[in-house]
Structure 1
Amino acid sequence: MSQHNPHRRDSLKTLAALGAAGTLGGWQGLARAQAPLTVGVIYVGPRDDYGYNQAHAQAAAEVKKMAGIKVVEEENVPETAAVQKTMTGMIKQDGAKLLFPTSFGYFDPHILALAPKNPDVRFSHCGGMWSEGMPKNAGSFFGYIDECQFLNGVIAGHMSKSGKIAFVAAKPIPQVLRNINAFTMGARSVKPGITCSVIFTGDWSMAVKEAEATNSLADQGCDVFTMHVDGPKVIVETAAKRGKMVCGYHASQAKLAPNAYLTGAEWNWLTAYKTIIEAAQTGKPHPNFLRGGLKEGYVKMSAYGAMVTDAAKKQADDTKAKMVAGSFDIFKGPLKDNKGKEVIAAGKVFKQTDIELEKMNYLVEGVNGSF
């Protein structure tokens, strides 16, 4: 069940009307002060999870500082009809005109069900696959964080002594598979024979299974870990206790394990939030499909830990520079999956914008695992 809290929403105080000082701000400023844009942000877990939800909460905290914006939030909302109730409450009770329902399972069927019923409200979902024919007041945004996971892999490849690295994942959806593959390919660009073992826990937040998976992979000899779960805290701390190294995900987990944290793949959601909010404030068409990577400022890397070697930093930094310049492609042929089947033919190159990458359904050569 959703953990509703009567004091669940943090909002900015109502902006003071300019009143008699209208000459200072003009009628346009007065209108903005009287009618701020109410933005709703919905999280599937707690906002302080050191992970997916925290990355969005960090962006929401910055949005609260923007002029003419009021923010309402709710955390711990399941990917069920509960999110429809939350969205409806924000619209009817709070007057929200723009919603950021952030979790993967919120999009279909929940946003797609509510958007047609609320044509004057904009729905911006993180990670969904908006396509033509869907409501125009709905949309999706996401970042090419596989670029950062590839760089995580480069660092892991340099730092691994066993030649075995590990990935703890929630569900084998395309975005997760893309991250596993990029991490593995980054490591294999350093050491072609390195292998990545993956365990799927089955859901976005399952602390017990995440700990069990981490210990199991450590028992198998893996010495560098990364992940794709909502809150990486358990994996980071468990791996560190086992004397292993970690590349983080979503947000920085460096302070949880300063002696084990190598670097990490982080979101910078404020970039997308600002683009979407500006469109709403100015009456521009709702952005239906937004994507960006390192170059666009949608994703970023954690600072390197003290133990990362100069050689590792140099290769990662050089590769990152090529990514930003648009001269480096992660997914190109010839490429086989982990069953030996060719999935990208020789000479074929996928750009980050190619929709095929958002439908990925395979694990690459070098990954030990199945789904």
Structure 2
Amino acid sequence: MRVAIATRIFDPEPSAASFRLSALARSFFARGDEVRVLTVRPPRGATAAPAPYRVTRFPVIRDRTGYVRGYVQYMSFDIPLFFRVLCGMRQDAIVVEPPPTTALSVTVAARLRRTAVFPYAADVWSDASESTGAPRPVVAAVRWMERYSWSRAAGVLAVNDGVAARIMEIAPQAKVTVVGNGIDTDLFMPEGETAAEAPNTPYAIYTGTASEWQGAEVFVRAVAQLRDNGSALRLVFLGQGTSFPELQRLAEALDAPVDFHPPVPPAEAAAWLRGAAVSVASIRPGAGYDFAYPTKVFAAWACGTPVVYAGPGPAGVVLAGNPALGEGVDFSPAAVAGALERAVSDPGLDRKVIAEWAHENVSLGGVAARVTACVSASLPRSSPR
């Protein structure tokens, strides 16, 4: 097959989407498919590693943090992408990463060329917009874009059952396949160096994006409580997100033992995770994201690091059934503080056992294989070249 992957974020930018799509490109290439990634130029100072498949990059507008986030930024990618799909090399299939504006752009251009489109659904953007208080017309527009793209797709690739169920509520005609989600266990593993900049005391780590619907402030309040009780545990935020300014203000107001670091390449993120006593993740209850399964927990488990998870969602269910991986608790500072204390002091949390479980259950290699199989099975046969 000739397969394209259209995404505003890709290697070398550290993100769950980058890891997932890089693994997918390698999986298609390993099958003998002709792979092309349609993406953006990396941010200043970042260098992409050579790839065996073709990667074409266009300039894009970034926000103040260097991220492609916001409608102006999205359109700076989506509009040129429309013409890259419409006028570029013919493809048998295009896998497209959110936001919905990108899925819409690719869907319209691909329909004109009778090319199959497979939107990736790591979450539901219209629900996220609604939960963050976006105006009703914005939420309605985002939901329409999702419904249009999902209904006309050759297949929608959902990361879990909760996302799949929500897609079917919004777009009942969609053909949805649950492909799962995971992490690159060849990169995130227990063996290797730890971060040189890490605190000398035990630390909990929050990696990746921190947005309003995740409610990461619960961890700031929890470590402030632990400090008052004499604990030496620090909290490290490693990443970016719309909540970072508020998290920094809260940490300063509480005089909490919290450190903030910008995003780092995946290998460095793995080093930070290896050195952490525990990793943390959360979903704010009632924010419209109860079905989400944060990828940051996969990265922690792959490095052998136990997880304390606060809030609803699949991660808490997995932890309840696998206590060797950490603990899921209610979304409250007191509950989180207690779980952090137990994780730091529990000799029964075996990092080797955690990493082995991750390799067997949340490897991106398995996810990518399911996606390639879904795309291949959804096409009647390879198109003439």
TM-score range, shorter chain: 0.3 to 0.5
| TM-score under structure 2 length normalisation | 0.38
Larger radius of gyration: 1
